[in-house]
Chains A and B, each alone.
Chain A
Amino acid sequence: MPDFSLWPLLGIAVVMLGFLLKFNPVLVVTVAAFATGMAVKMPILTWLESLGTAFIKTRNLPLILLLPLAVIGLLERHGLREKAQGWIQNIKAATTGRLLLVYLALRESTAAAGLTSLGGHPQVVRPLLSPMAEAAFEKKHLTLPDKIKFKIRAMSAATDNIGLFFGEDIFVAFGAIILMHTFLRESGIETDPLQIALWGIPTAIAAFLIHGSRLLRFDAYLARQLKNELKQVPQQEQRHD
């Protein structure tokens, strides 16, 4: 056994176990926070205080999700999704996979130029991208089963994340580059921030190639899934009879 305490890791064990057993994540995280406090013998009042202080400090986090919702909701009420769907259905060459591939290219390249706000789940994925991605598939296959719709939506959200993550990190003024540079300097190693940004480019290209080729095969995958779904539906109906 090591000669230092392993108790601080109790919270991590709680988190892993909680997620594996599929408890509600909010509950898991709260219990993990409590366990961590107890493991290092923090008095309950101190624990409540650090919980409160940290929560106040992180109030900026929900804003990015919260602020666009009123606009998006109002526009959805007046048919924004239907409009976006009609628009994409007029483009003959558009398929779900190709649409998402174009979005991946735009998202990753604008993020690499520092323009990370040109996208995001509440502003773009929910109101525009995912309805268009659904409609691009729907125009060939009429109404889709929910299961297929959910797969398209999940892939839309995934594409936004991947484009953002692997684009923003090659922008030299991005926080992560500064964090790496500062940490290495504190550890006595001098690096050039521009070098760190540039050495990110091979991975950024690999991310585009890997996810892009998955997107190109996504249409065929969806068609197969749809076939399976349709095969299952009549059987279920027979069983109900």
Chain B
Amino acid sequence: MISMTLLYYVAAVLFFAVAFFSAKDKRYSSALFWFSYGLIFLLGDLMPPALVGALVVLMALVAGFGGVKGGTYQTLALQQRLDSVKRLGNKLFVPALMIPLLTVFSVLVLVHIQGDGWSLLDQNNATLSALGLAAFLAILAALYLTREKPQQALKESSRLIEAIGWAFLLPQLLATLGLLFNQAGVGETVSQLTSLYLNLNHPLLAVACYAIGMALFTIIMGNAFAAFPVITAGIGIPLLVIQHGGNPAIMAAIGMFCGYCGTLLTPMAANFNIVPAALLELPDKNAVIKAQAPTAVLLLGVNIILMYVLMF
């Protein structure tokens, strides 16, 4: 019932709303950006892939040259907000908490509601369709509580989408780049390079190389899942497992965590680092990375020690 296609249509409506408000505000380059984004969500499956590619390039150029500018949206005055808080009290928390709690409830329980060739949630994307259901119920609750019209909800989501701005596009663009890297054989090349130049006889050096290699390649790719096969095939299996006889389960478990240390350090992991900075309206888009850096570097050191002590 709550299929990915339905969620894409909802996303299209939300993007078209942003396009509408920015066009009304005479910010036409922003409107073009959000309209194209909406179009890809609405008709993406029907358009020839090359046309989608051209639209993506157009959006990237508009965003890259500063064409996606934030709008001004009217918010309620502080006094009105405080009156609202007084009127609603703790009930104000209810729709906000409904989103995470209902998502979990749906993933665990409602996912089993299904009949012949029919199910409430998309079985392959249970978390996302659960989130869709939770957000829908929460918006009904929020509209009921605040006595606002549905148009106001569209205006509010547009306000927040515009606050995030071009960063919205980045996670998808990076995933696209990752797929292109795969097609071009970047992984194989790195793997060949490491096996060519690394010949490490001491296990501690081999461990350090594997751990730092995982972190570095994750920093470049923005994704530990992309780094794991490359570095494990290039350094992990030949050196740690075959040459030094280490336990592969320990290598994999801690190796992936070394990759996560890299994720904490890279703007390429946009959805964890750059998008939240935009969402929290921080002027420095690297502020989240800077807050994470000491933890990530210390933990990488601890991982090297753990891997060496536990494996050998």
Query: Using a CB–CB distance below 8 Å, which chain A residues touch chain B?
Result: 2, 4-6, 8-9, 11-12, 15-16, 19, 23-27, 29-30, 32-33, 36-37, 39-40, 42, 45, 47-80, 82-84, 86, 115-128, 130, 150-151, 153-158, 160-162, 165-166, 169, 175-176, 179-181, 183-184, 187, 189, 191-192, 195-200, 202-203, 206-207, 210-211, 214
- Chain A residues near B159 (CB, 8 Å)? 73
> What 4 new A-B contacts, CB under 8 Å, besides A30-B60, A63-B132, A150-B287?
A30-B61, A61-B172, A161-B288, A196-B253
Task: Select the stretch in B21-29, B43-51, B112-120, B198-206 that faces chain A.
Answer: B43-51
The A-contacting residues of B in range 144-170, CB under 8 angstroms, are 145-146, 148, 152-157, 159-161, 164, 166-170
The A-contacting residues of B in range 1-42, CB under 8 angstroms, are 4, 7-8, 10-11, 14, 40-41
Q: Let me know if B64 and A30 touch, CB within 8 A.
A: yes
What are 14 A-B pairs with beta-carbon distances under 8 A? A5-B189, A11-B180, A16-B220, A19-B268, A25-B167, A26-B64, A67-B135, A79-B82, A118-B104, A124-B100, A125-B279, A183-B228, A187-B232, A200-B256
- Chain B residues near A2 (CB, 8 Å)? 192-193, 196
- A71 and B271 in contact (CB under 8 A), knowing A26-B60, A62-B172, A117-B104? no
Q: Let me know if B166 and A56 touch, CB within 8 A.
A: no
Q: Give CA–CA (A238, B84) in the complex, Å.
A: 41
- Which one of B89, B161, B170, B248 contacts A184 once the chains associate, using CB atoms below 8 Å? B248
Q: Let me know if A80 and B96 touch, CB within 8 A.
A: yes
Q: Let me know if A210 and B104 touch, CB within 8 A.
A: no
Q: Majority SS of interface residues in chain A?
A: helix
* Least CB distance, A1 to chain B, in whole angstroms: 10
Q: Let me know if B280 and A74 touch, CB within 8 A.
A: no
Q: Give CA–CA (A154, B190) in the complex, Å.
A: 33
B78 and chain A: residue at smallest CB distance: A82
